[in-house]
Structure 1
Amino acid sequence: MTRNPEGPPSRAANAQSPVRRTAFARRASLTASAIAMTLACIGAPAHAAPGDAAHVYSPHLRPVSHISDTRMRIDTPGGPAEFALYVSRDWDRPQPAVTRAIIVIHGKLRNADTYFHSAETARDAAAAEGANTDADTGVDSGVDTSGTLLIAPQFLATLDFAGRDEPADLLRWDANGWMAGDAAVAPQAVSSYAVLDAIVARLADRTRFPNLRHVIFAGHSGGGQVVQRYAVAARDLGALAQAGIDVRYVVSSPSSYAYFDAERPVPVDAQACPDFDTWKYGMQQRPAYLADRTPAQLEAAYARRRVTYLVGGNDDDPQQKALDRSCPAEAQGPQRVARAQAYFRYLQARHPQGLDQTLHVVPGVGHNGARMLTSACALAAMFDTAGCAP
Structure 2
Amino acid sequence: MLSAFANALPASPALRLACAAVTAAVIAGCAATPPGTTAAARPAEATKVDTGKPHWQRVHLGAGAGYDFPVYANHRLDGDLSRIREVVFVQHGLQRNGDDYYAAGAALLKASGRNPGEVLLIAPNFPGTPDQGKGFDGMPQWSVQGWMSGENAVDARFPVSSLQLLDDLLALVTDKARLPQVSKVTVAGHSGGAQIVHRYAVLNNVDERIRARGIDLRYVVANPSSYLYFTPVRPAGPDGKSFAPYDKTACPDYDKYRYGMQDIVPYAQGASGLSLYRRYIGRQVTYLAGTEDNDPNHRVLDKACGAEAEGPTRLQRARGYLRYERYLATPGQVSRHQAYEVVGVGHDQARMFGSQCGARAVFGMAESANPDGAACRAPQL
Q: Number of matched residues?
A: 323
Q: Is the 8 A contact 2:254 2:305 kept in 1?
A: yes
2:233 alignment partner, SS class: coil
* Deviation, structure 1 residue 375: 1.0
Q: How high is the TM-score relative to the length of structure 1? A: 0.77
Q: Out of 350, 360, 368, which is 1:380 matched to?
A: 360
* Deviation, structure 1 residue 69: 3.9
Q: Out of 88, 92, 98, which is 2:74 matched to?
A: 88
* Deviation, structure 1 residue 326: 1.2
Match of 2:259 in 1: 281
* Deviation, structure 1 residue 170: 1.2
1:159 alignment partner, SS class: coil
> Structure 1 residues 25 and 195, CA, compared in 2 at 3 Å: closer, same or farther?
farther
* Deviation, structure 1 residue 151: 0.5
For structure 2, list consecutive stretches of 5 or more residues without a partner in the other structure: 1-30, 237-243, 368-375
Match of 2:276 in 1: 298
Mapped partners of 1:335, 1:167: distance in 2: 34
Mapped partners of 2:318, 2:136: distance in 1: 40
1:273 alignment partner, SS class: coil
Q: Is the 8 A contact 1:112 1:152 kept in 2?
A: yes
Mapped partners of 1:214, 1:2: distance in 2: 33
Match of 1:204 in 2: 174
Q: Is the 8 A contact 1:316 1:336 kept in 2?
A: yes
Match of 2:103 in 1: 117
Match of 1:29 in 2: none
Q: How large is the Cα RMSD of the aligned pairs?
A: 2.5
> Structure 1 residues 269 and 208, CA, compared in 2 at 3 Å: closer, same or farther?
same
Q: Is the 8 A contact 2:84 2:118 kept in 1?
A: yes
> Structure 1 residues 67 and 116, CA, compared in 2 at 3 Å: closer, same or farther?
closer
> Structure 1 residues 257 and 276, CA, compared in 2 at 3 Å: closer, same or farther?
same
Match of 1:46 in 2: none
Is 1:71 matched up with 2:40?
no
Match of 2:161 in 1: 191
> Structure 1 residues 198 and 295, CA, compared in 2 at 3 Å: closer, same or farther?
same
> Structure 1 residues 337 and 219, CA, compared in 2 at 3 Å: closer, same or farther?
same
Mapped partners of 2:44, 2:107: distance in 1: 26
Letter in 1 for 2:112: A
* Deviation, structure 1 residue 386: 2.1
Mapped partners of 1:76, 1:235: distance in 2: 17
> Structure 1 residues 254 and 113, CA, compared in 2 at 3 Å: closer, same or farther?
same
Mapped partners of 2:258, 2:55: distance in 1: 27
Mapped partners of 1:363, 1:226: distance in 2: 24
> Structure 1 residues 102 and 225, CA, compared in 2 at 3 Å: closer, same or farther?
same
* Deviation, structure 1 residue 123: 1.2
> Structure 1 residues 328 and 3, CA, compared in 2 at 3 Å: closer, same or farther?
closer
> Structure 1 residues 377 and 237, CA, compared in 2 at 3 Å: closer, same or farther?
same
Letter in 2 for 1:337: L
Letter in 2 for 1:371: R
2:288 alignment partner, SS class: strand
Q: Out of 162, 168, 177, which is 2:146 matched to?
A: 177
Is 1:355 matched up with 2:343?
no
> Structure 1 residues 351 and 144, CA, compared in 2 at 3 Å: closer, same or farther?
farther
1:298 alignment partner, SS class: helix
Mapped partners of 1:335, 1:248: distance in 2: 26
Mapped partners of 1:255, 1:339: distance in 2: 8
CA displacement 1:233-252 (0-9 Å, x = unmatched):
11223452232101111100
Q: Is the 8 A contact 1:316 1:335 kept in 2?
A: yes
Q: Out of 127, 142, 154, which is 2:125 matched to?
A: 154
1:261 alignment partner, SS class: coil
2:95 alignment partner, SS class: coil
Q: How high is the TM-score relative to the length of structure 2? A: 0.79
> Structure 1 residues 358 and 275, CA, compared in 2 at 3 Å: closer, same or farther?
same
Match of 1:103 in 2: 89
2:201 alignment partner, SS class: helix
CA displacement 1:336-359 (0-9 Å, x = unmatched):
111111101110221252311111
Q: Is the 8 A contact 1:256 1:329 kept in 2?
A: yes
1:19-30 equivalences in 2 (<5 Å): 19-23=41-45
* Deviation, structure 1 residue 75: 3.5
Mapped partners of 1:204, 1:377: distance in 2: 26
Q: Out of 244, 253, 271, which is 2:223 matched to?
A: 253
Mapped partners of 1:385, 1:76: distance in 2: 36
CA displacement 1:93-124 (0-9 Å, x = unmatched):
34222111111110000000000011112212
Mapped partners of 1:348, 1:107: distance in 2: 28
Q: Is the 8 A contact 2:33 2:134 kept in 1?
A: no
* Deviation, structure 1 residue 88: 1.0
* Deviation, structure 1 residue 76: 5.0
Mapped partners of 1:24, 1:272: distance in 2: 52
For structure 1, list consecutive stretches of 5 or more residues without a partner in the other structure: 5-10, 27-65, 128-142
* Deviation, structure 1 residue 271: 2.7
Mapped partners of 1:165, 1:232: distance in 2: 32
Letter in 1 for 2:152: A
CA displacement 1:176-204 (0-9 Å, x = unmatched):
10011000012311000111111100111
Mapped partners of 2:322, 2:358: distance in 1: 17
> Structure 1 residues 97 and 362, CA, compared in 2 at 3 Å: closer, same or farther?
same
* Deviation, structure 1 residue 318: 1.1
Letter in 2 for 1:338: Q
Match of 2:13 in 1: none
